[in-house]
Amino acid sequence: MSPVRPGTIGFLGAGQMAEAMARGFVKAGLCKPEDITAYDPWDVRRQVFEEFGAKAVTTNGEVVRASETVFVSVKPNYVSTVLEETSGDLSPDQLIVSIAAGVPLEKIEAAACKSSKVPCVRVMPNTPCLVGAAACAYAAGKHVSEANGKRVEELFGAIGVIRKVPENLLDAVTGLSGSGPAYVYLAIEAMADGGVAAGLPRDVALPLAAQTVMGAAKMVLETGQHPGALKDNVCSPGGTTIAGVRALEKNGVRSAFIEGVNAAADRAREMS
């Protein structure tokens, strides 16, 4: 087996998440479009990859033979199939990155390491991958080196943030950042409704609500200040903001978010 070219990236499954990651890696300058190879049985998805200059091939085997880092980006029930199909072409110099929700490393390794000890990692991404603002966590399998871990952090760091966690915490990650965009969509929609109730036109209220959430998130990430301190800074005595905070607290806003994250984490545990 001839060694694969360093820096090359492959996708087993060229769906929404694969496209978001591939575009993100190219945009961040981590690779050129021609360094990417993808296979999908659906020709529409192969065309999407070809249109931005990546190579779309006709088998998963071709992806594995062409790529140093191989993303498993099929739905969870196809993970074992695509890995078993290609394991004969995998070598310890490659890196398998599965983004499939709920598929344990043990199962990924059992399918990928049939003929050699291939390093495998499991990543829990979220949909803001599509806009380069992902929040991801990963767990490393038994054959993963420090250099493999660095590569994972470099790749996902280009499309958002990534943290390493023990595998048993990935269900909690699913509850927080995996499912979290939906909670924030609810909050944005509800804030916009509040703005409309207070008299704003919808087309003014919605962008103001979304930008407020993005701005507050940037304040937390960029100032490094605790969110409680940032909240205190904007609550003047007897003012408007503390009146709003008081009403939110009376309606259990904190508890609602805590229970939401925990319910999703519990559900992820049940499903994995």
Nearest distance from residue 182's CB to ligand NAD, in Å?
A: 10
Do 123 and 152 contact (CB within 8 A), yes or no?
yes
Quick one: 99 or 155, whose CB is closer to ligand NAD? 99
Cβ–Cβ < 8 Å for 54, 22: yes
Taking CB atoms, the residue at the shortest distance from ligand NAD is 15
Least distance between ligand NAD and beta carbon 238 (Å): 43
* Closer by beta carbon to ligand NAD, 263 or else 271: 271
Q: Which is closer to ligand NAD, CB of 65 or CB of 205?
A: 65
Site for ligand NAD, rule CB under 6 A: 12-18, 39-42, 45, 60, 73-76, 78, 81-82, 99-101, 125-127, 178
Give dist(CA 99, CA 122) in Å, integer.
Answer: 6
DSSP assignments along 162-220, one per residue: EEE--GGGHHHHIIIIITHHHHHHHHHHHHHHHHHHTT--HHHHHHHHHHHHHHHHHHH
> Which residue lies nearer to ligand NAD by CB, 79 or 205?
79
Name the minimum Å distance from CB 267 to ligand NAD. 14
Q: How far is the CB of 203 from ligand NAD (least distance, A)?
A: 28
Paired residues of 11 in beta bridges:
38, 71
